[in-house]
C-alpha cells in the first residue's frame, strides 16, 4: 500500500471515530425494579420509601413514597447522565392514590461554567390515578437562552412543600427521550 493510500485510510478512520455517537431514542434512568436502585438516591427525613408491586407503568415494581407532614420533603439523585442536550423531554410516571389532586415539584439542577448552578423548576398538579409528568427540555433551552448542546445536569429533586397530611405517591420510569424518529 502506498504512503498516500495509507494516509488516506488513517484520515478516513480518524474521521469515522470523530463522528459523535447519537443518543438513544429513550433512556430509562430509573425503573425501580431492584433495591440497588434505591441506593442511587438521597432520601430526606420525614418520609418513607420502598419498592412496591402494587402499581407500575413498566416492569413489575414502582417506588412508593410516603410524604410525611413537613415544610419540604422529597428525594433527590445526582446519579444521572450529565449531558441532557441530546434529549427533548424528561418525564416520569406517577400514580396518585388519593382522591384529590396534589401538588408536586420537580427541580433539575443545571451546572454552569465556573462551578455555578441554577435550577429548572416545574410544579405539577397531579390528579388522582396514573399520569406521566414531563418537562420539555427544548422549551427550557429557549426560555433560558441555553444554546443547543449546552444542557449539563447535576441531578434532580422531586419534592412537596407545606405538606400537612401524609401523602402517598407511586413513581416509575424516569426517562430522557428524543422526539425525532431517526
Ligand atoms: Ca418499574
pLDDT digits (tens, 9 = 90+) for 1-20: 455 545 555 554 455 444 55
- CA distances from residue 5 to 2, 16, 54, 88 in whole angstroms, order as listed: 5, 17, 64, 42
Is residue 52 situated within a structural domain?
yes
> Ligand 1 centroid vs 19 CA: distance in angstroms?
34
Domain count, the chain: 1
Q: Could you tell me if 72 and 65 are in contact, meaning their C-beta atoms sit under 8 angstroms apart? A: no
Q: Is the pLDDT of residue 32 over 60?
A: yes
In this structure, is residue 9 part of a structural domain? Answer: no
Cα 67 to ligand 1 centroid, rounded to whole Å? 20
167 Cα–ligand 1 center, Å: 20
Domain assignment present for 1 = no
The answer to whether residue 98 sits within a structural domain is yes
Listed range (34-43, 51-60, 110-119, 148-157) with the worst mean pLDDT: 110-119
**What CA–CA distances, in Å, run from 67 to 5, 37, 168?**
67, 19, 6
**pLDDT tens digits, 33-42:** 999 999 999 8
The kind and range of the H/E element at 160 are strand 153-163
Q: Which residue range(s) make up the domain with 115?
A: 26-177
Report how far ligand 1's centroid is from the alpha carbon of 33 (Å): 5
Whole-prediction pTM value? 0.83
Ligand 1 center–CA 159 separation, angstroms: 20
Task: Give 1 Cα–ligand 1 centroid separation in angstroms.
Answer: 55
Amino acid at each position: 500500500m502506498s504512503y498516500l493510500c495509507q494516509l488516506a485510510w488513517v484520515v478516513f478512520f480518524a474521521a469515522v471515530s470523530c463522528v459523535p455517537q447519537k443518543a438513544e431514542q429513550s433512556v430509562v434512568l430509573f425503573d425501580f425494579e431492584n433495591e440497588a436502585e434505591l441506593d442511587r438516591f438521597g432520601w430526606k427525613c420525614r418520609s418513607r420509601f420502598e419498592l412496591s408491586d402494587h402499581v407500575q407503568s413498566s416492569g413489575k415494581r414502582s417506588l412508593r413514597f410516603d410524604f410525611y407532614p413537613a415544610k419540604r420533603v422529597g428525594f433527590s439523585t445526582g446519579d444521572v447522565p450529565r449531558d441532557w442536550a441530546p434529549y427533548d423531554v424528561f418525564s416520569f410516571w406517577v400514580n396518585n392514590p388519593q382522591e384529590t389532586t396534589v401538588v408536586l415539584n420537580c427541580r433539575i439542577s443545571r451546572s454552569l461554567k465556573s462551578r455555578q448552578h441554577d435550577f429548572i423548576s416545574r410544579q405539577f398538579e397531579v390528579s388522582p390515578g396514573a399520569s406521566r409528568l414531563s418537562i420539555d427540555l427544548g422549551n427550557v433551552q429557549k426560555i433560558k437562552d441555553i444554546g443547543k448542546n449546552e444542557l449539563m445536569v447535576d441531578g434532580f429533586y422531586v419534592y412537596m412543600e407545606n405538606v400537612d397530611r401524609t401523602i402517598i405517591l407511586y413513581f416509575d420510569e424516569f426517562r430522557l427521550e428524543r422526539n425525532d424518529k431517526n
